[in-house]
Structure 1
Amino acid sequence: MKKTILIFIVIFSFSLGIGYAQHPGPRLGPNNPKVRALKIATITDKLDLSESESEKFWPIYNRYDKLREQLFRQEKTEIRKKVKSAGGIKNITNEQALEYLTLLQEIKFKQYKIKAKLYDDLKKFLPAKKILLLEVAEHEFNRSLFEKLRRKRRKFNNKR
């Protein structure tokens, strides 16, 4: 069953790749179908989920991932863009800095809370070891994604 799921994910990612080739332009990030498929494959492979675990895991994880992405976007739009539009941290007032810092604290606390809720929800049907493996899988996925991006950037820069 695990091999069937993995094969399905690989085929799905290739079919998305063909469709993606029809629409050129960089679409990096978690909403990129290739990145999403690679993340699913990495997590599925590392966690070695049974069919019943997988049925429970993915809806919970997808909900968490969506909330995490929303908080990241909120941080990016509400803080980073404001600081950047002001010309950098050196150009904002102390009151603005305090406002942005308070907002950043709220966002980071929300991120902590959704991660804690993910763990609590997963502990109901997954052993703690698999939850720790999820952390490892996410870390390895992010590291491999950054490495691929770094290699592409080097290759691109060498062509110029």
Structure 2
Amino acid sequence: MKHLLVSLLLLTTLSVGSVSAQNDSQRIESAKIGYITNRLNLTTEQAPQFWAIYNDYNGKKKDLNRRVRQLMGENSRQGVQKLNDADLLNQLKDINASKQKIADLDDEYMPRFLKVISPAQLQELYKAERDFNRRLLEKLNTNQD
């Protein structure tokens, strides 16, 4: 009985932590949607079309950025001194290839965005993403202090 109680308590604690992380992620996404919508001044006609394109684009971009971070993390975990020049060069090429894929993704999605929003709004989107990420990092750093 005691083990069952401890197990339930542990399971509840883990579930609450998972829900909390999900809530934080959802709050961040909601804040980002509001921030971008306001910055782009999307009309009611533009918004649904824009968000359909953006969600697809952003998912692919997140995957590529994750790959870049993973590759860069491998460099630091393995230690640059432990790798030979050929291995280091291959990792650097992989990082650059992933960064190029991000640039290619921007080129691929530009015409899609421009069917829905103006060039000025697209430029504002790129600025809004940078600003939102910068503000989020500042807030996270402030909360850790």
Q: Which has the higher helix share?
A: 2
Name the % identity.
23
Point out 4+ residue stretches in structure 1 off by more than 6 angstroms.
none
Per the alignment, residue 59 of structure 1 pairs with 52
Q: Is the 8 A contact 2:39 2:125 kept in 1?
A: yes
List runs of 5+ in structure 2 lacking aligned partners: 1-14
Provide the C-alpha distance between the structure 2 equivalents of 1:118 and 1:23, rounded to a whole number of angstroms: 38
Q: Which has the larger radius of gyration?
A: 2
Query: What CA RMSD, in Å, does the superposition of the two structures yield over aligned residues?
Result: 2.0
List runs of 5+ in structure 1 lacking aligned partners: 1-21, 155-160
How many aligned positions are there? 129
Instruction: State the structure with bigger RCO (CA 8 A, min sep 6), 1 or 2.
Output: 2
Q: Is the 8 A contact 2:64 2:98 kept in 1?
A: yes
Q: TM-score, normalised by structure 2?
A: 0.80
Give a deviation string over 1:24-83, Cα, whole Å, max 9, x none. 26849xx91111111111001111111111111001100111001111222233x23432
Q: TM-score, normalised by structure 1?
A: 0.73
| Residues 1:44 and 2:1 aligned together | no
Give runs of aligned pairs for residues 2-41 of structure 1, distance below 5 A.
23-24=16-17, 27=21, 32-41=25-34
